[in-house]
Structure formats: C-alpha cells, structure tokens
A and B are shown apart, each in its own frame.
Chain A
Amino acid sequence: MATIASTKVIDNTIDTPGRRSPLVTGNQTYGSVTHMVSRISEEAQPLAWWVTFLLAVPTLGMFGGLIVYLFLTGVGVWGNMSPVFWAWPIVNFVFWVGIGHAGTLISAILFLFRQNWRTGINRAAEAMTIFAVVCAGTFPGIHVGRAWLAFWLTPYPSLNLWMWPQFRSPLLWDVFAVGTYASVSLVFWYMGMIPDLATFRDRSTNKFRRMVYGILSLGWSGSSRHWMRYEKAYGLLAALATPLVLSVHTVVSFDFAVSQVPGWHTTIFPPYFVAGAIFSGFGMVVTLLVPVRAIYKLKDVITLRHLDNMNKIILATGSLVGLAYATEFFMAWYSKNPYEVFAFWNRAFGPYWWAYWIMVSCNVISPQLFWFKFFRTNTIAMWIVSIFVNIGMWFERFVITVTSLSRDFLPSSWGYFSPTWVDIGMLVGSFGLFFTLFSLFCRYLPIVAMAEVKGVMSQHAHAEHRQAHAHGHAQGHAGGHALH
C-alpha cells in the first residue's frame, strides 16, 4: 500500500489547465482497485443489497404471474382499447429500450472517442443495458394478441406455410434491430468482462467459485497474446456497436414515424428518439450508480467527475429533447396540416395535458439545474433529477403513444385511455425483473471494469497528479492478475 497518502479528498471535478484530473482517487493502487471491486462478490452483501433483492424478486414473481394471467385471459386485461390499441406495454417497451442505450454508448462510442472516464462506469452501464433490453424485449412478445405465435415475426423457413414475414412492416425491422442490438451488446459486455472474471477466478477460495468463474473466463491467462487479441476484438466490437446505438432507437422510432397517425408521422423522430434514449439511459445510469458507489464504497473509481460528466450529457441531451419538442410544434404549425396541428395542440392542452406537462417539466426543465455545478456534483440532487428524467422519459413515450392514438382522424372514434391494475402491475413488475438482474449482477460479477480502470491509472499508484496521458488498455496492465 501506498504510504504517502494525502489525507485530503481530492476534488477531481475541477479542471486545471494543463493538467488532467485523476479518474481514480484516494491513492488507489492496482491492488487496492482489484480488492475494492472483487471483495463485493466475495464478502457478505450489505443490507441495502438484501433489501433491493428481496423487494425485486417478489416483484419479478408478480410480473411472471401477471404474464401467466395475461396469457390465460387475453390482452384485454390491459386498458388497451379502440382507438388506443397500443398503450402501456409499448410505452414500457420504448422506455426500456431507451434506457438500454447508455451502456453501449458509453462502452462503444466513448471508447472510440478515447474518453477515458468511461472506464469507471462502463461495466455497470453495459449490464444495465442488457437488463433493460431484456425488460424491453419482454413487452413486444407478450403484447401481441396471440403471444404463442409471436415467433411468426421471425423469418424462418416454414415448410407448410411457404411464407416470409412482411418486410415492409417496421415491427419486423424492430425485431431485427432490437435482436441485433441485444446480441451485440451481450457479446460486448461479456467479452469485456473476461479479464475481470479471470481475476475473480484467481482470487477464488472455493472450488465451486473457481470452477464457475474458470468456465466463464474462457481460460484467460493474461498473456500478451490474449491481450492483443482482446484489444483487437474489443475495438472491432466497439466499431460494430457504435452504429447500433444509433440504429436501434431509430428503428424503434420508425414504428411510429412510418405510420400515418398524426403525431407519429414525423421525420424528426429518429434523431429525437436517439437523443431521448441517450438522455434516459444516462439518467438511469446516474440513478443506479449513485447508490451503488455509496453502498459498495466505490467512490474512488466512480468519482464525482464521472457523475459530473454524465450530468453534462444529461443536460445536453435533455436540451436536445426540449429542442425536439419545440421543433415538433413548429413543424406542426408550419406544415398547416390540420391533423398535425391538432395532434400537438391536443398533447399540450387536450385531455392528456397533465402527461405532457409532466414530460416537459421532467425532461426539459429539471435537467437545466445541471447548468449549476452544485447540482452536477451533489449526489442527492443529481439522484433526484435523474429520477425525474426517468419519469419524464416514460411520460414522453406515453404522450407520443397514447395521446396521438386517442385522437386521430375521425372524432367519432376518439377515446380516452385509462390503465388497469394489470398495466400498473406490469410496469412495476418490469422493474422487478430489472432490479433482480441488476442485484444478481452486483452480487456475482465485477461491477467495475478493473482491468480498464487500471489502464487509466498512473503506473505510480500514488501519483494522482501525474495521471496525464494514460489511454487505452495496453499500457500498464499487469494482466488480469491483481498485484498483491
């Protein structure tokens, strides 16, 4: 252990010209980082974990129960109606897909742009992505009226049907887009985890653990050859995943944009959806990591600077989303298309005005607090804002989906949607699924990408002020093995 420990806490959110702020604080050494991360899965879990887990699992059980109930009964257990044929399940789907954007963005795009601060948060963010996509994927599958035939959406050679799906439908594009995204993200996440899994394996004290992590780490030995191939594959996957970050939500937005429902049929949707997705994804990362870093005492690797950076992204994307809202109104007015004009006017001042204004206050107004450094660096404040962002983004999807459908072309067919208890139960239940998976992740897998964090640490463990030019992974790795 280092001995020259400066006792004062270093504020790495301050930018000093000519000097890079450290991304790992607290005089950490490679060994201490390894220990800090690995002990989480080796020691007994803190109370907060048990509370989360024991709340999440029954909620997941309820989710499962509701799905069974839904299958046995029919999709009428939801509040869906005519004309609001899509409601909460689709809102939930888009909401979760959106959240699933931050992880891959952090791990792929920020990697390609050499943003080293990504290393502290990318593992957790990627895990969040995977789990969000799992939640998202659940909904379209159970949303269809005959869920047992949902596999007809996939192009499979059917000998007695001689029929492909209908490729003009955006829903089919969705299947491909989300499917590709989920698989690439999963591979990316898992591959990035291999060195850390090897560390876990090597630190294992019992046979079972060693065996499981041994299998998972695929025989990683930390040799230069392994590292070289790893780096190459990582770079390639990052390059592959980067367009997917943009394409998934673009395609999801096509579900709406390709239709002719006023309020859906707009060309702004792809960029607007992507911005919103990144916004909500970072919101969720902040929501998760603020407590995680406190509970697991990871403040030295997930530093305030990380959070500060994410909050800046939230501010930027939140403002982008606000700009999109304004643009939509402008386009509606400028187009002079009466249906379009009405659709947007109706959003803001129709029967769902409350949803619209919840959305605007949460998504556009609340992130503006992040202009102030206090809010960007105060964990409680940012946590509250990030929750608002999550709520706001759920409402954004609600506003788009439900208010547009509830009043389209023929006034005779207008209707007012209200959810049933099953709708509410399933939204809550999907959080149960998410938090169950996330708690298990915290319990069993490396929350922080140790190997990568070490790559951005100075080789001299205690020389925080000299963390100047660390980049990439190759430098400074002592292999997957931790220094003792």
Chain B
Amino acid sequence: MSANKTYWRSLNDLHETPEFEQIATREFPQAASEFPEGVSRRKWLKLMSSSLALGGFAGCRYGPDQIAAFVVRPPNDVAGVPKHYATNFELAGRAVHLLISNMDGRPIKVEGNAQHPVMRASEPNELGEAGDKSRFASAGTDSFSQACVLGLYDSDRASRVAKRADGSLTGSNWDEFAAYAKDQFEALKANGGESLAILMSPSLSPAVNRWVAETVKLLPKATVAQYSSIDTTAQDKACAQAAGKSAEVTFKLDAAQVICAFDSDLLGNDPNAVVFTRQFSKGRVPEPSKMNRLYAVESRFSVTGAAADSRLSVRRSQIGAVLRELEAKVDELLKGGQAVPAAEGEKPFEKIDSKEKVSRFLDAMAEDLVKHKGAGVVSVGAHQALDVQLTALRLNQKLENFGKSVMLLPSRSAIEGVTPIALTDLVSKVDSGAVKHVWILGDNPVYTAPGDVALGESLKKLEHSVYLAEFEDETAQVCAWSIPLAHQLESWGDVLAVDGSYGISQPQILPLLGGRSAIEIMSMLHAGEVGQDASEMLIRGVADSVAGKPLTSRQWREVLHSGFLVGLKAESLAGPFKVEGSASVGSIDLDSIEQGSLELQFTVSDSLYDGRFAKNVWLQELPQAMTKICWDNAALVSPKTADALSLKQGELARLIHGGETLDLPVFIMPGQANGTISVQIGYGRVCRDEAVDSNEQVVIGKNIAPLRSFSALHLVQNVEAKPLARPYKLATTQDHFAIDELGLETTKERAKNLIREGTLEQIQEGGADFVEHLGTHHPPLNSLWKEPIETLESDKTVTYQWGMTVDLNKCTGCNACVIACQAENNVPVVGKEQVTRGRELHWLRIDRYFRGDADTPKIVNQPVACVHCETAPCEQVCPVAATVHTEEGINAMAYNRCIGTRYCANNCPYKVRRFNYFNYQTEYGYFYGWQQKGKIEDASRKLQQLVLNPEVTVRGRGVMEKCTYCIQRIQNGKIQSRTEGRNVEDGEIQTACQSACPSQAIVFGNLNDPNSRVSKIQKSERAYEMLAELNIKARTLYLARVRNTHARLKTSDQLEVAHHDHGDHSNTHVEEAGEANGNHS
C-alpha cells in the first residue's frame, strides 16, 4: 500500500482503492518488467556472450564455442540469417509444438511446427491446391506460445538459488542446495519417504511423470499431490470410469458435422484449442454437404460461442439439466421418433420466450446429432460435475461417435504406480505433521490455491520445502528453498501431444539467468549435484525408453530436427465404455435474477491463464477476446442482470459470498447468462518491484481466490452483488457497450456493412451477388482520372502485387495473430494508463461487434490491420512524403522521414495507424509520469531488448507506424528466390499473423499471379472490401461470414433476404422478400 499520495490523476483516481493507485503509477510500462539490480555493462556482455556462445545441443547447430569473433565461419551459419529449431513443451496446461526462429543465438519468434503429426493431421486443405504445398504449410499457434519469447527475456525471473533465513529469502548457491538435497534424500530414504510429499500440476511431460514414478519407487511411502487451478478432476474421473483406466477425451472436429459445446470453450481456452480450431476450420467451407454446424450452450460469451452457428446462454449450474434434456430428446429420436419440423410462420428464434428457446434449441440439436450419427461431438467443459461428464460420454456413445469424431485416449498425465491425492489432503497432512518435506514442482500453487485452502500458511511452518521457481513468487516466499527454473526455451524437456506422439524440447539459448531445467533440478533432489549439461542425456534416456529402443545418434539428431519421434501415436481405446451415471434432473431457468442467489463463475484468463503470465506484458495488454479489456479482470454481467441489480458499467460492484467480499469493476456483457457473474482468474498477483522500491507492490487486477473454494473451483452460488457507485476505469481497446443510444444504433447499422454475414442458404441463393446483398449497395465507383500510382488494373509490369484475404468464416478471434504481430514487428507495450487514453500500438486488432438483440446476441470478429489501399488516403496528406506506395502495392512507412503530423492517421478510415506518443521502447518514464519514484534505468532494458526482431526498425517517439504486410519477410522471400533464380512461390512468404493463425483465415500472396491462393480467394463470391464506397481500393479483402444455422433457430436478420431492385436477378428475390416482410411484421 503506497503512502505516497502526493499526486492524483483525476477525481476518479482519488476515490480509487490503493491497488488502483499502484496500477496507475506503474503498469509495467516497458516490454517486460525491470531487471532487479539493473544490468550492468559487464552483465550485458555476459548475456551477450552467452547468447553468442550457446549451441552445441543439436547436431544441426554449430558447436560450443568460445567468446570470440568467428575467424572461420561455422558451417551453415550466416550471421543475421535466422535459424529455426523445433521444440515442444508444456505451456499453460497445453502441449505446444513450435518452431523457434533463432537470430544469432537469440530465440525471437515462435511459429507452429507444421510438420508435427498433430498439425499434419489437421492441415486444412482447400481450393484444390495444385502440387505439394506442404513445405509452405503453417501450423498456427496460440497467444501464449507467441508471447513465451518475451517471458524468456523477463529479468524478473528467478535468478538465484534462494534459501529462507529469518523468514525471508536470501541468496544461496547450487552447491549448498546440492548438499542439502543429498542430505535430505538420504534421510528420507531411511524412513521410506514417509514424510515427503510432492506437489505438482498434472503434467504432460513423460520425463517429469517418470521422475515422480521413480521417486515413489525409491521412497514408497512418499505422497504425491496434484493440483491445478483449472479443475479437470471430474472429467478425468468420468473418463477413467468409462475406460476403466486413466483416460482423456478428445475430438476430431474435422470428422464432425455437428459439434455441440456445453460450457466447453473448444476453440478458446481448451488446451487443444489450436488443433481444434484447425480441425474446425476445415469444416467451414460454405457448401451444404461440407459445412459443419457448431452449437454452443454456455454461461458466458466464449470464443466458441462467438464462432457458433447457434448459441444459447444458460447458467453454468444448469448445463447438466440442459444436457439431460438433450439426452431425452436424442433417446426419443433414436427410438424412432420424428424430429419436430419447422412450422409455418414460426417466430424467429429471438422472438420466442426462454422456455421455448431451450426446447427449440435442443430439438434442433438432437435432430442434427441423430441425423449425423458418428459425425457428432458432444463436449462439456472439464469443470462440470461428474454426472454431467458421464452424460456427455453417454450421448457420444449412443450416437456412435466414439472412434470417429470423439476419442478416448490413454491419459497423458497419468503417473505409473501413483495415485495422487488432492491439495486439501496435502494441507491437512502438513498440518498434522505427517508430511515434513514438500517438493513443489513449480506453478505457484500458493497463489492459485482457492481461498479456503491455507496452503501458504501450512508451508510457512515447514522446515523443509523446495520450490522449483520460475519466479520468486508467492510460493517461493513461503518455501525453505526456491530453486530457479530455466525457461522452457532454455531447457531440455519433453511433452506428449494430444495424439500421444512424443516430442522433445531443446534449449534455444543457455539459461540467461542461471536457472536449470526442471529435469536437472529434479535429479538433484535425488542425487545432489548432477552435471549441468546432463539434461540432454536425461531426456535422451526418456526418449529411448519411449521409443522402446536406444536411439542412434543419427536418430536422435532427427528427433531434434523434427522435434518428435516418428511413428509413435496413442491408440484410441476401444469401446463400449461404461458410461452409466445417475441423472438427477434439474430445472432450467434462463431468466431469474435474484440478489443473493446469483451464480459466480470463474473462468481462465484469456491472457494470464491461471496467473502464471502475470508478468508477461504482451499478454497483459492483449485485449481479451470478447470484452476487449486489458490489464484487468472485471465482473461480467448481462444487461438484464445489471439492470436488475443496478450495476453500472465503469463502476465497482461488491461481490459477497460466504463472508468474503471482493470489489470488482462491472462490465456489461451481452450474452452472459442472466443471474450469473463471470470473473477471470489469474489477476491480482502481487509483484514486488525491487527496481523501484523493494517494499512497493504492484498489483494488476483483483485476486479472486478468496471467493473460490476447493470444492467449487469454477462456480459458487448464492452470491450477492451490490453496486458501490464508485467509478473505476477499465482499459478497453474498443468502446464498451454502454455508449449513447445514437452511437449504439449507428454501430449496429454499420457493423452489418463492415462485417458481412449471411446464412448458408443465402449464399446458395445469392450466388455471385451474395456478398453485395448483405450490405448496402452503392453505385459503381469510377475514378474520374487515371490514378497516379500503380494499381492492379494499370500495372502488370511489376512481378508482385501483394494482397491479403481474411476469412471471417474461419476467424474465431483467438488473438494469436495479435501477439504474433507484436512479436514480429517490435510493437511496444504502452501500459494501462495509455490504453485508457486509446494509445495502444497493436498493428493488428480484432474488432468485435454484437449483432441481434441484447438477449440473444451474436458476436462477429474482424481482424483489422492496414489494408494497403491502392489510393491510400494517408499518403496524399503527408506533407513530408513519409508514407508512400511501393510499386508492389504496399503502403510503406519511411520512419526516418516521418515527423509526426498525424494527418495520415486522421485520414485513415480504418484507423489502423498507430502513433508513438512517447518513446515507448526506450525512455518511457523519463519525465513522463515523473511522479514515479524511480527512474527506469536504460541499462535495465538491455535484457528485454534481446527479444527485438533485428529485421524491423524500432520506432522512436513522434513517429507513425502501422502494418507493413511484414515487409521484412517479403524482402527475405524475394532475396531468397532471386538468389535461386526464380520467382517467389505462392505461400513462400507468410506474414506473421498468417502463420500464427490456427484456422488459416489469413492468406497473403501475389495478386498478379492468377493461380495464387490469394487471387483465387479474392474472386470468391464471399470476398468484399471493407468501406468499398470510399473507392480507396484496399488490397486486403474480407470473406463474408456464413452461419450454418438450423432452420428453426434462425433469427430475424438471418431470415431477412435483402431485396434489391436492380439488375436481372431481382425477380429471384421477390418471393423471399415477401416472406421477409411477413417476418418483419
């Protein structure tokens, strides 16, 4: 709590909580948080030398070297040409398969590994591409993977072996720890490990799981406890019960025609979201037989809900009841019942009452599921109760989906011979004195533990506790030892992919801050000191045993090269499965909003996961997919709920449950189930900021752990929410919902034009004019004069004319592209206060609009970056010619020439130009925000500067910037092709957003080549230009979204068929127009 209240930013600020002050004073304003002691020149050299000297891990890299200039260039190494290394690791509960771009020894960018079997299997393949384009395939990633490179250069990571002395952590060293570990292990061996407990999250790493199993073999009385803040125990139990052994359920969405997601964010927060998104997008081809249909029943608007063809808001506690109702309907149809046909003159979906909505929704769903037996998916969120999980499995079994679109696979996180206990049991064991030693394998459980589990208090009392620390965080503070863990990009490791294939993780750089890999530290716990470079051998040993035979050096090099062991896949378990369960029937009520019986649900943070990315400022500033909030968590309520409880946008609300209270800012979110409040976990981490003042704490958002309880990690009921009438400014990158009536109406009206959306039926009828009919018409546009620059029409002499398409039918708004762009193009972070001023610098943003009424809203997403207009309005108003057109059709920025009049940004209708109001990259904090106590040392930036892409200019203050179509990648591609004496091949050059996109919604290429994918797609009947009426000839076109909505679930706007009295096709619409008019009335 800061006592320093000598300044205030606004009246609001004065009224705010102390936490808010801290946020306002210092919101991690740089690319990463500060380096505790500041990096001296010597340390900088050390860092640099380590990055120059690294290597020697894989055969395909140059060998270990001394710190000296290369007199003779190592083979295959050209300074300044990035290399790509495959790696796989577990990140935020998910297995990621990546290719790391390594620039002169520095990992700076992450791409998906398209050659990985999981990615190969889900490769979208369309437009009948000629030839084998697989070498240009892109895999797509998620935002966490994209942001992990920044985490690597975070100087706040644990950088010392620390030992508790007099209640606080003091520096120690590896030798001391090794001796300690050896002593303790001997002692434990003597009693069979009776007093030892290992606390870990469920792990996808065979090496880690093997080590745990081995430990239990050596110390048979030892306890293993597993805990994850994201609770999947019910699902694990259900799968285990069904399969008779540890198993996990997964889906093949590309084999599914009907996908029903019950509170299950398959395309968003699911650990397999990247793969699922790829599979899902394969089925988004808008043709009747090919297009899949996604139903979402959920309590808060998720990425999946936004992507869904039909969506129903239901409280989280009632999902089970809805699912059982579905089961009843499916049963009836399976018995030979008839589906309810669409009645004549049925009201549109949003016009009926909530009871009818549920029954009609489930009728449609049941009909589709039964019709597509064996090609359906019923998925429920992992946090739902056991009986709900079993119902879903049962439905899948009844619908014969297992083995086709739904798979039960052997669990990847199961540990042989170990039955883990729960966190609460561990705490009571510690409290009772049965456990005296605790080894915590990372993941900060003291922070993630719910409010009713006093893990921290219990650990504090223990004399022997070892924590594998990524940061010296909440858990480190209460442990006897905090051992610095190397970043995944610095360490050896392994992970099992969703299909069971084995992938290894190889270090891209020597540990920058002196940490060691998890495997190394674990070995130390057994044997004291082990060689620092032993982990390669350790992992190789695991790989040998997974492969079933010792790998030869050559095979091992192949594994390192491709990142995975070829040919190893998990076999799907064979049914039938035991899926019986009790089916208690609940009531479904969509409308009740009663103070005191509200539902509070906790969801994974889009940005921070369970809080582990709290120090990653790229993720902190990433606008959350649906709300566009960054740097904060908020209480999401539906408009009706807000009305009933008189909660107001931009004010605080007090949530009360079981004696605990928590004040959170209110965010009104249409589509949230009535009577529920949704809050994201992962915020409110206390970060000590030693660079400024060791006593000052920086807190971002609110820690909602006090309201969570172990038995209900994701849902509590009987909550009260009281308005506090105290203003609170949330940083959102898009106008929040509570704007004036005029603005709201206009937004709705315009969104229709900006994001064209139709139904599958409309595209069938509309043909080539489909997309025209979805928006307003404008007369044909002709320039009065010859355009002064090269346009597609005028200039065919230049070989390349670059262009892009964004398929809104595939885009789910997952945000991976936003972070990818930030990482590729050195886009700085500006901090919360600057975001509230509208100065975020993201070159690529995802616009989100609501559609329909506030009760049954739909969400449409649209990634927007510079569209590179051929007659760009920005260019002609720049007085110093700092933004000009290249002959290849790119609207280029000459940063050196820009003096910052900002006229171009005013004149840009898409508002994609970004301005450096301060020196965000270097001296932010100098003078500006001079109220800050500490000035930020320039040197402290040296470490994080390593993340910068040397191929992209770092912009200083006063300069305009924007998307360049990743011009550095275009240049590289052209240089490469020219040295090889050929033209750039289609797909050879991929922009950062494109290669990060898991659904491959973004396609970039040469418009001058009629056979390129982008040219073909631009001719699609769905292609349209945003703001075409301005006649500025954008090079980026959008493909209209098509919803494959069941006939009975269509809303008024989907039933409308635009009637246009022009041309020869007007007759075909007369009939529909008549119908549509009828529906209007």
Contacts and interface: CB of A to CB of B under 8 A. Distances in A.
Interface of A: 69, 72-77, 79-86, 143-147, 149-150, 152-153, 163, 165-166, 168-172, 175, 255, 258-261, 338, 342, 345-346, 349-351, 405, 407-415
A408 B899 contact: no
A260 B873 contact: yes
B959 A415 contact: no
A169 B928 contact: no
Nearest to A260: B873
Contacts of B739: 351, 414
Nearest to A342: B746
Contacts of B881: 163, 165-166
A435 B1037 CA distance: 54
B914 interface: yes
Query: Top 5 nearest A-B pairs by Cβ distance?
Result: A145-B900, A145-B958, A76-B917, A413-B911, A81-B838
A422 to B, nearest CB: 11
Nearest to B749: A338
A171 B915 contact: no
Given A80-B917, A149-B899, A346-B743, A261 B906 contact: yes
B823 to A, nearest CB: 21
A146 B902 CA distance: 11
A79 B742 contact: no
A415 B735 contact: yes
Nearest to B10: A418
A159 to B, nearest CB: 16
Contacts of A171: 877, 879, 901, 903
B980 to A, nearest CB: 34
B215 to A, nearest CB: 53
B464 interface: no
Given A83-B911, A169-B903, A415-B735, A146 B1030 contact: no
Nearest to A346: B742
Given A75-B900, A169-B876, A405-B906, 14 more contacts: A73-B918, A74-B919, A75-B957, A77-B928, A82-B911, A84-B838, A170-B877, A258-B877, A351-B743, A409-B1027, A410-B909, A413-B734, A414-B743, A415-B735
Interface in B890-946: 897-903, 905-907, 909-911, 913-919, 926-928
Size band of the B side of the interface? 35 or more
Given A74-B957, A85-B915, A411 B746 contact: yes
B864 interface: yes
B878 interface: yes
Contact of A143 (B849, B901, B927): B901
B800 to A, nearest CB: 25
Contact of A351 (B740, B847, B902, B959): B740
Given A165-B881, A166-B879, A412 B734 contact: yes
Contacts of B873: 259-260
A412 B847 contact: yes
A144 B927 contact: no
Contacts of A350: 740, 742-743
Interface string B873-886: 10011111100000
Q: By CB atoms of chain B within 10 A, which of A72, A152, A171, A411 has the most?
A: A411
A345 B740 CA distance: 13
A410 B957 contact: no
B837 interface: yes
Contact of B959 (A82, A143, A146, A168): A146
A255 B904 CA distance: 11
A150 B899 contact: yes
B735 to A, nearest CB: 5
Contacts of B834: 76
B876 A168 contact: yes
Contacts of B566: none
A16 B915 CA distance: 63
Nearest to A258: B877
B894 to A, nearest CB: 10
Contacts of A145: 898-902, 915-917, 957-960
Given A76-B918, A413-B911, A414-B743, A153 B899 contact: yes
A411 B743 contact: yes
Contacts of B847: 410, 412-413
B754 A410 contact: yes
B839 interface: yes
A149 B957 CA distance: 13
Contact of B958 (A69, A75, A412): A75
A296 to B, nearest CB: 42
Nearest to A149: B899
B750 interface: yes
B900 A144 contact: yes
B751 interface: yes
B848 interface: yes
Interface string B44-60: 00000000000000000
B891 to A, nearest CB: 14
Given A76-B834, A143-B901, A146-B900, A82 B918 contact: no
Contacts of A255: 903
Contacts of B840: 82
A412 B927 contact: no
A72 B1052 CA distance: 57
5 contacts: A74-B917, A81-B839, A260-B907, A409-B750, A410-B909
Contacts of A407: 743
